[in-house]
A and B are shown apart, each in its own frame.
Chain A
Amino acid sequence: MNRSPYLSSAPSVSVIMVKVMLALVPAIAAYVWVFGAGILVVLALASVTALSAEALMLKLRNRPIKPFLMDGSALLTAWLLALSLPPLAPWWLVVVGTLFAIVIAKQLYGGLGYNPFNPAMVGYAVLLISFPVIMTHWPAPLELAQAKLSFATQLQYIFGVTNGLSLDAVSMATPLDYLKTQLMLHHTVQEIAVSPQFGLLGARGGELVVGAYLLGGLYLLQQRLITWHLPTAFLGVLALMAGAFYLVDATHFAHPLFHLFSGASMLGAFFIITDPVSGPTTPKGKIVFAAGIAVLTYLIRVYGGYPDGVAFSVLLMNMCVPLIDAWTQPRVFGHTK
């Protein structure tokens, strides 16, 4: 029997997923530091929902449950979705988003390896369209909050026993959101940027989380779990595009670094657009895909109806993947084209 090769070098799928989750740990720590421990509850909620939904769906689909639960992909989807949500998101929002991601976006398409759309981003987009107010109400970083939010109060927000507490009391527009609304009121970028939620490069506090994502991303690169193509092309094109607009009119367009360090840019660059299943596989294709996401993200941020545009851009470019792959086939050895 010819079953060669007898050797294997590859880390298993679960090892890859675990390492990606490991790469998220610094960002989660930064989250806790900046917004409080509530995020851990959100993460736990999303994880439990994802694993239960995955197990149930696998059972319904007559698939072996254990190997697919152990591959870690459901858990990773849950984490990525949870980290995209506002830190004090109500429990049902987390559950609905996660269920949508796992049941509809992943399992109904055939489970691991068969989903054409990034499950976490499908869950996020569904929530953003269905519950735009909650989804855009981010709590202020702890250092800016008028009253320090205790962990108990955070739990109250998450589980909806707010006793008259209003989210408005603790929330604050994110810099991307604030910039957009203020620009519409004919303020210049420079006037807007003195507002307290602006930090050195992006959002005050938030940029720490962004930095942690960058750190985690570099770890993924070092571990060869992702290639340079996607993050470089995404961040590069985003910076180029923002830079061009910034050069034309610095009073109406934010600095490129602001775009890199705000919103979901870093999370997207290293953890979202790098989802292999829903992304392209050829090196050139990866560059096209990431560049497309960057252009769309920038356009949505500047001209669209939402403060950030990573999720929609990813989903839009997911649709183009088969075409991108077909058009960017590398030259085969010994062939002229």
Chain B
Amino acid sequence: MSSLLNIMKQSFGLGAVTVTGGVHPPEHKQESTTQPITQLALPKRLVLPLRQHVGNLPKVLVVLGEKVLKGQLLAEAEGNISAAIHAPTSGTVVAIEDALIPHPSGLPDRCITIDVDGKDEWIAHDPTDWRNQDKTLLLSSLRNSGIVGLGGAAFPTQVKLRTNAKSHVDTLVINAAECEPYITCDDMLMRERADQILKGVEIAQHLLGAKQCLIGIEDNKAEAAEAMRLACANSPLNKLVRLKVVVVPTQYPSGDARQLIRLVAGIEVPADKRSTDVGVQCFNVATVLALHRYFDFGEPALSRIVTITGNVQKPANYEVLFGTPVPDLVKAGGGALAGTDDYIMGGPMMGFSLPSVDVPLTKASNCIIASSPNLFAPAPPAMPCIRCARCADVCPVSLQPQELYWFSKSSNLEKARDYNLFDCIECGCCTYACPSNIPLVQYYRFAKSEIIAQDRAKESADLARERNEFRLMRIEREKQERAEKHAQKAAGAKAEAAKAEAAPVNELPEDAAMAAKKAAIAAAIERAKAQKAAAMPQNVADAKPAVQAEIAEIDARREAAKQTVSEQPSDDGTSPQEDK
């Protein structure tokens, strides 16, 4: 009855806003929420990829063999968008080299490897009195906090906290939707550390100057929502600004930032703008908690909560140091069960298969799912699209996936762009709903990369054409200039000749200087020749007389050849032009 009422309310535009489209796959969240978060034992070795975030690679500050302490800066943020890397525990730097990282490409990337000494010895670290410090100072200090978005996007957090006159943030949205199936790291974090999260929210609110803070949680996390509500009620922030837990329907992908902003704040961020342009900023719960650890304890980003689930003995959540090898986590989860043939990082909707299980967990790793054919059946062969438009029904951004598929498949990229291909968030709902088992998202990824490549090629082609046009213009100009010079010279020579006839014996002082210069040059050439002769290969000095004679002969011939070459007249008066 209540559901009927809800449907009626929604169809008349009343009541809660729901995700347009979206899907609701089996949640599988219970499995990994039966036991509290556990600290994973210190691994023997940590492998820290420099690329754990979106943006520039950080600059490495340590050298091979260096002893490092827990929290020590290993690599500092470089450029505008970048994030620092810290030593998650104490040990020795044993390698700075390319190693396999958790990335769908399966390509190795630069990593710092630390042999853990087991002492877990901290570097000196102090809390910051953030309430009474200048915000610019706080933000610049945050640059080397290493904090990035822990929801999976891994965008440097300090960049998102910078405000200016143009982007005035009124609403702070805390993303606690965790809409992907299987993942429960944020759920458990909220159940256990809601108060700490709220302390982080205070900091984010302070830095942004937001007037309201809305925490968006899907309605399948009742316990977490309750804990957050309680923490909100107890938070001093409650008296300063509007602070509210907003429960949203469980409908993937509600956790997409733009979707969640619409769900909790009722604001649809224009496609060509950032959320800050409409006064909203969004952070994941774990990210704001990291802010709290950084400012209130001086602890940079060293660890995160990771869910281990799927085809393992004991699915659970662990607090894991960055750089911990995935097998350590799998082992903690009781080990993979028989049939496991793959490991997925992230959720089953947007995650990716690890190139190997021997990769480290990074800042972006929220979940590892041991996968087996029983758990995720391989997709049957794709059938033709029957235009049933189920994909369009579930698309959260109201695209027409069947048209985009058609255009992508036929490489009609211009048309794909016209149909807003770049608004696709690659959530995978369309593929999930496709009765023909067409890997739609892969087609869109392909088309996007093709378009980007084409744009780049076009850009460089335009540049090359411009350059060529300029080159032709310059050659023409130089030709003209030369012609003018020749004409002037000829005219000058004539005048000179006329002058010479008029005054033949007059030796000009310039000519005297020129003669002296020529003499100096000739002397210099003599000197150089002498030097060259002296520098002749000495390894032939003690050769047999016959050989010596032969060498002398060869040298003579070479000399003669040189002579003939230098005597040949140059056929062109102008020097060759190099155009590059």
B55 at the interface (CB under 8 A from A): no
Considering the chains assembled together, what is the distance between the CA atoms of A11 and B437 in angstroms? 9
Considering the chains assembled together, what is the distance between the CA atoms of A150 and B429 in angstroms? 54
A196 at the interface (CB under 8 A from B): no
The residue that A281 contacts in the complex, of B269, B387, B428, with Cβ under 8 A, is B387
Beta-carbon contact of B428 and A13 below 8 Å? no
B81 at the interface (CB under 8 A from A): no
Beta-carbon contact of A4 and B441 below 8 Å? yes
Q: How far is the CB of B374 from chain A (nearest CB, A)?
A: 12
B350 at the interface (CB under 8 A from A): yes
Measured between beta carbons, the chain B residues less than 8 angstroms from A9 are: 23, 25, 432-433
B357 at the interface (CB under 8 A from A): no
B152 at the interface (CB under 8 A from A): no
B436 at the interface (CB under 8 A from A): yes
The residue that B383 contacts in the complex, of A3, A13, A335, with Cβ under 8 A, is A13
Contact string against B for A residues 1-44, beta-carbon threshold 8 Å, 1 for contact and 0 otherwise:
11111111111110110000000000000000000000000000
Beta-carbon contact of B350 and A4 below 8 Å? yes
B337 at the interface (CB under 8 A from A): no
Q: Which residue of B lies closest to A114 (CB)?
A: B384
Q: Which of B399-436 contact A (CB under 8 A)?
A: 399-400, 402-403, 419-420, 423, 428-429, 431-436
Beta-carbon contact of A16 and B398 below 8 Å? no
Main secondary structure of the interface of A (DSSP, over half): loop
Measured between beta carbons, the chain B residues less than 8 angstroms from A227 are: 393
The residue that A16 contacts in the complex, of B273, B388, B392, with Cβ under 8 A, is B388
Measured between beta carbons, the chain A residues less than 8 angstroms from B392 are: 281-282, 330
Beta-carbon contact of B423 and A333 below 8 Å? yes
Beta-carbon contact of A334 and B268 below 8 Å? yes
Q: How far is the CB of B384 from chain A (nearest CB, A)?
A: 3
Beta-carbon contact of A13 and B435 below 8 Å? yes
Beta-carbon contact of A7 and B383 below 8 Å? no
The residue that B380 contacts in the complex, of A3, A5, A12, A334, with Cβ under 8 A, is A12
Q: Which residue of A lies closest to B387 (CB)?
A: A276
Contact string against A for B residues 359-398, beta-carbon threshold 8 Å, 1 for contact and 0 otherwise:
0000000000001000011011101111111101100111
Measured between beta carbons, the chain A residues less than 8 angstroms from B272 are: 334
Main secondary structure of the interface of B (DSSP, over half): loop
Considering the chains assembled together, what is the distance between the CA atoms of A10 and B396 in angstroms? 17
A195 at the interface (CB under 8 A from B): no
Measured between beta carbons, the chain B residues less than 8 angstroms from A6 are: 344, 348-349, 351, 371, 376
The count of residues in chain A whose C-beta lies closer than 8 Å to any C-beta of chain B is: 37
The residue that B349 contacts in the complex, of A1, A7, A281, A325, with Cβ under 8 A, is A7
Beta-carbon contact of A332 and B348 below 8 Å? no
Beta-carbon contact of B436 and A13 below 8 Å? yes
B339 at the interface (CB under 8 A from A): no
Considering the chains assembled together, what is the distance between the CA atoms of A15 and B385 in angstroms? 15
Beta-carbon contact of B432 and A332 below 8 Å? no
Q: Which of B386, B397, B434, B439 has the most CB of A within 10 A?
A: B386
B108 at the interface (CB under 8 A from A): no
Considering the chains assembled together, what is the distance between the CA atoms of A336 and B420 in angstroms? 13
Measured between beta carbons, the chain A residues less than 8 angstroms from B349 are: 4-7
Q: Which of A221-257 contact B (CB under 8 A)?
A: 227
Q: Which of B349, B387, B396, B400 has the most CB of A within 10 A?
A: B387
The residue that B402 contacts in the complex, of A7, A13, A281, with Cβ under 8 A, is A281
Known: A71-B383, A281-B387, A334-B423. A7 touches B352 (CB 8 A): no
Contact string against B for A residues 101-117, beta-carbon threshold 8 Å, 1 for contact and 0 otherwise:
00000000001111000
Considering the chains assembled together, what is the distance between the CA atoms of A1 and B402 in angstroms? 24
Measured between beta carbons, the chain B residues less than 8 angstroms from A16 are: 388, 435
Contact string against B for A residues 96-138, beta-carbon threshold 8 Å, 1 for contact and 0 otherwise:
0000000000000001111000000000000000000000000
Q: How far is the CB of B29 from chain A (nearest CB, A)?
A: 14
Q: Which of B442-467 contact A (CB under 8 A)?
A: 442, 445
